[in-house]
């Protein structure tokens, strides 16, 4: 027994539906609308896509760990994201990110960290913790990203970076990137203009 004939106009309706889906997809791409299949997006606290500030540690020593914090993050969905990598943007004089961690306020860390000497672990942070689960707009405190950094040998060489590039993923989407522009500087002894060596990166 052969296949039943299609109802009149069914083929045209199917073609119209496919064309409509394609148009919606193109419009989303052109307008920058986030598609659900991409998963939750990583953003700055409050839902901003821009983070820009300057921070410098003075009289730093070469080949020594320091930590910068103050990068407060949230996600715009109900699923957490995992930060996979943090890289410096436009590093000067060998500025390196050698580790990173995320943290939320707790009894042991009642305030956001800021910046200081030592590595992540010696400052009480777990270098294997890389999740951001705080939802943007929620009453909960944002999640702080902390980066462990170094400058190479050379006592007179101030090192800095014009920003950070954060690669992350979630169970509901592929790998994505969030570029932010905190100017971070490790000043050599006697250098009072360390932060002027780098200009903010454009996210």
Which has more pLDDT, 139 or 12? 139
Residue-level pLDDT at 167: 97
Q: Same domain for 70 and 93?
A: yes
Q: Can you give the pTM of this predicted structure?
A: 0.75
The answer to whether 66 and 120 have CB atoms below 8 angstroms apart is no
Q: Same domain for 32 and 105?
A: no
112 within a domain of the structure (yes/no): yes
Residue-level pLDDT at 83: 98
127 within a domain of the structure (yes/no): yes
Identify the CA nearest to 143 among candidates 156, 152, 154, 134. Answer: 134
Residues in a beta bridge with 88: 164
pLDDT band at 180 (very low <50, low <70, confident <90, very high): very high
For the chain, how many structural domains are there in total?
2
Range of the domain at 101: 40-196
163 within a domain of the structure (yes/no): yes
Residue ranges with strand state E in the chain:
42-44, 52-57, 66-75, 81-89, 96-103, 115-117, 131-132, 143-150, 159-161, 163-170, 173-186
Q: Same domain for 25 and 120?
A: no
pLDDT at 34 over 60: no
The answer to whether 185 and 109 have CB atoms below 8 angstroms apart is no
pLDDT band at 194 (very low <50, low <70, confident <90, very high): low
């Amino acid at each position: 027994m052969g296949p039943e004939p299609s109802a009149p106009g069914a083929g045209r309706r199917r073609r119209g539906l496919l064309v409509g889906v394609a148009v919606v997809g193109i419009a989303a791409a052109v307008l920058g609308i986030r598609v659900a299949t991409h998963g939750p997006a990583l953003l700055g606290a409050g839902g901003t896509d821009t983070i820009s500030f300057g921070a410098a540690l003075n009289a730093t020593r070469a080949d020594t760990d320091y930590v910068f914090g103050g990068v407060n993050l949230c996600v715009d969905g109900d699923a957490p994201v995992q930060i996979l990598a943090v890289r410096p943007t436009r590093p000067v004089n060998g500025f390196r990110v050698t580790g990173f961690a995320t943290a939320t306020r707790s009894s042991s860390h009642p305030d956001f960290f800021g910046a200081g000497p030592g590595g992540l672990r010696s400052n009480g942070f777990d270098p294997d913790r890389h999740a951001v689960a705080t939802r943007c707009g929620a009453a909960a405190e944002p999640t702080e990203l902390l980066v462990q950094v170094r400058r190479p040998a050379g006592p007179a060489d101030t090192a800095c970076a014009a920003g950070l590039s954060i690669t992350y993923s979630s169970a509901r989407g592929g790998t994505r990137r969030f570029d932010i522009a905190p100017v971070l500087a490790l000043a050599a002894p006697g250098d009072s203009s360390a932060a002027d060596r780098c200009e903010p990166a454009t996210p």
